[in-house]
């Protein structure tokens, strides 16, 4: 049975894949994105290098897509290779977007209770979560120059 079929049987209809094409090839699943699509899953593929956090535009795009799918009563899988670094960061940022009062320390503890003590793997990822509210605010305040 294909992995995508297992996801569909679990009720998952949307997939956010954070793996790079190099990772997919390295782990011998270079056609994974196509497999998801061929099984009728909605796929949002935004690769993030292993160990890195997303950029703020990518984080916001992922969060908006996750929110849209969940608001439409769909189940979403957010995954990287191990599910402890990049995916954990994206989910942490999503949770902080849902609750703008949620402190980074609280969301990191919640993710680690759920995924294990190794979740949020690098200093860059940890710092991104700690800076997320400010990064999001700064990004949202950017406006294009007015045309003359």
Say if CB 14 and CB 74 are below 8 A apart.
Answer: yes
Query: How far apart, in whole angstroms, are the C-alpha atoms of residue 128 and residue 139?
Result: 14
Closest residue by Cα to residue 85 from 49, 110, 113, 60: 49
Residue 80 is a catalytic residue: yes
The beta strands (E) that lie in 39-112 are given as 42-45, 75-79
**Which residue in 16, 19, 80, 93 is the catalytic one?**
80
Task: Give residues with Cβ within 8 angstroms of 71, minimum separation 6.
Answer: none
| Helix (H) / strand (E) containing 1 | none
Query: How far apart, in whole angstroms, are the C-alpha atoms of residue 44 and residue 65?
Result: 8
Catalytic residues: 80
């Amino acid at each position: 049975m294909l992995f995508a079929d297992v996801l569909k049987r679990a009720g998952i209809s949307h997939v956010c894949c954070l793996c790079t094409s190099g990772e997919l090839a390295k782990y011998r699943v270079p056609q994974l994105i196509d497999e998801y699509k061929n099984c009728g899953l909605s796929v949002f593929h935004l690769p993030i290098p292993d160990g890195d956090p997303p950029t703020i535009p990518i984080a916001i795009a992922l969060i908006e897509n996750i929110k849209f799918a969940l608001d439409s009563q769909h189940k979403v899988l957010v995954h990287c290779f191990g599910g402890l670094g990049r995916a954990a960061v994206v989910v942490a940022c999503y949770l902080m977007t849902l609750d703008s009062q949620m402190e980074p320390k609280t969301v990191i503890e919640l993710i680690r209770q759920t995924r294990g003590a190794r979740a949020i793997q690098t200093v860059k990822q940890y710092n991104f979560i700690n800076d997320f509210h400010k990064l999001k605010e700064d990004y949202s305040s950017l406006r294009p120059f007015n045309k003359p």
